[in-house]
């Protein structure tokens, strides 16, 4: 259990601070924790301190950030990330932003599945039968 109060909103419980270019996270597991802030709220439970350098997000692998609970934390993150997305416009391509929901503001480098709920329709409201696919990053 991570518990705090009376700290600045940018305070985080887990901070990674790279000291050089090209650093990345691999095989990290942060799970089964309770992040609890007593007060208004903090921004995130985890973050990257870029004082010296940033992470190489394209090389990050096997970051497990699951089964955690958040109380008084604005940005709740998880990996694997599961969420619903609704698109109301007819388009060939839809860009889906994870909105910083991945740990350490990482990138989606893999996807397990895309499930379409209901029928996909074109701008004339006619049902179309495409095969959804994903281009990552």
Give tens-digit pLDDT for 65-74: 999 999 999 9
DSSP assignment of 3-64: EEES--TT--SEEE---STT---EEEEEES-EEEEESS-EEESEEE--SS----GGG-EEEE
| Ranges of each domain in the chain | 2-105
Q: What is the β-pairing status of strands 69-71 and 46-48?
A: unpaired
Does this model's pTM top 0.85? My answer is no
Q: Given a cut of 90, is residue 86 above it in pLDDT?
A: no
**Residue 135: is its pLDDT beyond 80?**
no
Confidence tier at 33 by pLDDT (50, 70, 90): very high
What is the pLDDT, as a whole number, of residue 54? Answer: 96
Q: Going by C-beta distance under 8 Å and a sequence separation of 6 or more, which residues neighbour residue 20?
A: 52, 53
Per-residue CA distances from 25 to 22, 72, 104, 110, 124 (Å): 10, 26, 10, 15, 46
The band of 114, judged by pLDDT with boundaries at 50, 70 and 90, is confident
């Amino acid at each position: 259990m991570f518990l705090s109060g009376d700290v600045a909103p940018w305070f985080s419980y887990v901070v990674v601070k790279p000291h050089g270019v090209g650093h990345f996270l691999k095989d990290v597991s942060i799970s089964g924790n309770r992040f609890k802030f007593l007060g208004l709220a903090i921004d995130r439970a985890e973050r990257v301190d870029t004082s010296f350098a940033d992470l190489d997000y394209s090389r990050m692998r096997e970051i497990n950030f699951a089964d955690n609970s958040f109380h008084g934390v604005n940005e709740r993150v998880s990996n694997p990330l599961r969420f619903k997305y609704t698109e109301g416009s007819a388009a060939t391509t839809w860009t889906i932003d994870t909105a910083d929901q991945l740990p350490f503001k990482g990138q989606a480098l893999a996807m397990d599945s895309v499930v379409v709920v209901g029928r996909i329709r074109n701008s004339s409201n006619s049902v179309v039968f495409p095969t959804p696919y994903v281009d990552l990053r």
